[in-house]
C-alpha cells in the first residue's frame, strides 16, 4: 500500500473571512407628491439607501423618513386615502427620524397659526411649532438667498447655504425643546407688512427636523448628510417585515430609480442676494 502524504496541520490563525461592507442607513422618502426624486438622489449621495414610500409596507427597515415639498392639503388627502397616516404616526412614535421640507414642515407641525384651509387639514404633528402656511406669499413671491445656518457636524468654513423658498411657510413660534437652526432676516417691505424683523425657517427637535426651504434642489448636500446621520442613530422600523414590503413593491410601478437622478450643481447662481 502506498504511503499517504501527511495531512497539513491546521493553521493557528485561520485566514479571516472577507468582511461585508457596512449596511447603509435606509431612508424612506414619501413619494406621493413633490420633489421626492431629488431627495432620493441626495440621500444616496450622502451614503444612505433611498426608498420611495407610497405604501405603509415600504417603511419596513427605514430608520428615517423625508416628507418633501408639495401642497400640504393635497399630501394629507392622499395620505389619508392611501391609509398612510397611522403607519407614519407609528413610525414617528417608535423613534424614527423625520425631516419635513416646505410643505413637509407644515405636515409635521403641531399647529397652523395662519393660512389654514377652510375646514382645517389633517397634520402628522409631533413638532412643537406653529406655522404660517403662506408666510412668504404666493408662487410669484418665491426667491432664493444665502442663509447662515447652524448645522450640527458641519465643519466647513462657509456656514451659508443656498436656500430656495418656493411659496414657502414659516415658523411663527417654537416650543422650549425646539432647537432653532436658522432664521431669515426679512427685507424692509416684509418687515413693514408683518411687523417682524426675522422669522424661523429651520428647526430640530430630537429626531425631528424641518426646513421652510428646499435643500434638495441645490448642489449642497450638508442637510442630507446631517439627516442620514440622524437616521443612522435610530432603530430600523420593525412593525412591518421585509417580506410584506417585497410583496407590496411587486404591485406598484416605480416612477424612478431612487438616487438615479443627477445632483444639481451650483455653478450658476441667480438673484440679487448673490451680488
Question: In angstroms, rounded to a whole number, what is the distance separating the alpha carbons of residues 25 and 42?
Answer: 13
Catalytic annotation, residues: 102, 214, 216
Strands 97-101 and 64-67: parallel
- CB–CB of 227/205 below 8 Å? no
Q: Map residue 74 onto helix, strand or coil.
A: helix
- Three cell numbers written together for 142: 418665491
CA distances from 32 to 37, 130, 228, 235, 247 (A): 11, 24, 21, 24, 19
The string over 50-77, giving b where at least 16 C-beta atoms fall within 10 Å of a residue's C-beta and e elsewhere, is: bbbbbbbbbbbbbbbbbbbbbbbbebbe
> Cα 56 vs. chain centroid, distance in angstroms?
17
Amino acid at each position: 500500500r502506498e504511503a499517504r502524504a501527511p495531512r497539513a496541520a491546521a493553521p493557528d490563525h485561520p485566514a479571516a473571512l472577507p468582511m461585508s461592507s457596512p449596511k447603509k442607513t435606509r431612508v424612506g422618502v414619501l413619494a406621493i407628491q413633490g420633489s421626492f426624486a431629488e431627495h432620493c438622489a441626495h440621500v444616496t449621495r450622502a451614503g444612505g439607501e433611498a426608498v420611495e414610500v407610497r405604501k405603509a409596507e415600504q417603511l419596513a427597515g427605514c430608520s428615517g423618513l423625508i416628507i418633501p415639498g408639495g401642497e400640504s392639503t393635497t399630501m394629507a388627502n392622499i395620505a389619508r386615502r392611501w391609509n398612510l397616516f397611522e403607519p407614519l404616526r407609528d413610525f414617528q412614535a417608535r423613534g424614527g427620524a423625520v425631516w419635513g421640507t416646505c410643505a413637509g414642515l407644515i405636515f409635521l407641525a403641531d399647529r397652523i397659526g395662519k393660512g389654514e384651509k377652510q375646514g382645517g387639514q389633517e397634520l402628522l404633528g409631533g413638532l412643537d411649532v406653529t406655522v404660517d402656511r403662506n408666510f412668504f406669499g404666493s408662487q410669484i413671491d418665491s426667491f432664493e438667498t444665502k442663509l447662515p445656518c447652524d448645522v450640527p457636524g458641519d465643519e466647513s468654513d462657509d456656514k451659508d447655504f443656498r436656500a430656495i423658498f418656493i411659496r414657502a411657510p414659516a415658523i411663527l413660534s417654537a416650543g422650549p425643546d425646539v432647537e432653532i437652526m436658522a432664521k431669515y432676516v426679512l427685507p424692509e417691505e416684509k418687515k413693514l407688512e408683518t411687523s417682524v424683523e426675522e422669522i424661523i425657517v429651520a428647526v430640530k427637535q430630537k429626531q425631528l427636523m424641518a426646513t421652510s426651504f428646499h435643500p434638495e434642489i441645490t448642489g449642497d448636500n450638508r442637510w442630507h448628510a446631517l439627516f442620514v446621520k440622524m437616521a443612522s442613530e435610530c432603530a430600523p422600523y420593525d412593525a412591518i417585515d421585509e417580506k410584506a414590503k417585497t410583496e407590496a413593491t411587486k404591485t406598484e410601478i416605480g416612477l424612478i430609480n431612487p438616487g438615479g437622478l443627477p445632483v444639481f450643481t451650483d455653478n450658476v447662481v441667480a438673484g440679487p442676494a448673490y451680488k
